[in-house]
Amino acid sequence: MKVLWVAGFLAVLFTTAPARAEETPGCAVPAYLLATESALPKVASAIKTRKRLEILVVGSGSSALPGADGVGMSYPARTEAALREALAGVTVGIKTDLRPKKTAAEAAQNFGQIIEKLPPDQKPDLVIWQTGTVDAIRGVDPDDFRAALDTGIEALQKAGPEVLLMNLQYNPRMETMLSVGPYNDTIRVVGQQHEVPIFDRFSIMRHWNDAGDFDLFGSVHGYGMAKRVHDCIGRALAAMIVEASRVNPAELRIQR
């Protein structure tokens, strides 16, 4: 019963339940939450040499929004828009491969083959793997979760692209129902082991909640709020990708 309740609540968090209009939040992110020691040299080369950056987001249901404008307002699309704005003269394309209700092990099946079968002009320079929520809901053993992350990252890197991990979304009500710490800790450890950046969505959203930018404790969240959260996630994710690439956007503008 607990698993069903939590799954239903996560669906409500980013769907079309009615809510009152709210002011657009600032949703600033502390610099330390976007800093990373793990660089993305292939992303940097794609930006500076090819002037073209291809990204694939592998995610779950929380990577999407419903409705006619859902695709354009989801965080992958908002990340693409923010990167295009930041990286002058660079063509940016972000595609999604959504695998709802899949654990890390289930989502990672055939990762390498999927990348290898893509035409050369569609192969991603970077794969953003958003994971952990379904494993936490199902109570997957953290050691099995870690093994799945290892397998997935190794398959992706062998196929060519660099990898960036994104952890669970934050909600204070969910935190009382699930033990999310072991999964976030595992993502952090595996990221360090493989030297891949980690977008700490959990801590970023918790910061916004604590700062009053969003009220994530409420039992009902409207579509307008969901769009604002996705927009803020997208802009923060774009900032981290630029940070990890070690590219100076100002230099790109000068070169134009």
CATH number at residue 91: 3.40.50.1110
Examine residue 143 and state whether it is found in any structural domain, yes or no: yes
Examine residue 24 and state whether it is found in any structural domain, yes or no: no
Examine residue 28 and state whether it is found in any structural domain, yes or no: no
Beta bridge partners of 253: none
13: confidence class by pLDDT, cuts 50, 70, 90: very low
pLDDT digits (tens, 9 = 90+) for 25-77: 579 999 999 999 999 999 999 999 999 999 999 987 767 666 556 667 799 99
Q: What is the CA 207 to chain-centroid distance, rounded?
A: 16
* Number of folded domains that form the chain: 1
Residue ranges making up the domain that contains 159: 2-18+36-255
Measured CA distances, 255 to 87, 158, 197, 238 (Å): 11, 33, 28, 21
pLDDT digits (tens, 9 = 90+) for 96-112: 998 888 999 999 998 98
Examine residue 117 and state whether it is found in any structural domain, yes or no: yes
* Beta strand segments in the chain, E: 52-59, 91-98, 126-130, 162-166, 198-199
**pLDDT of residue 216 exceeding 70:** yes
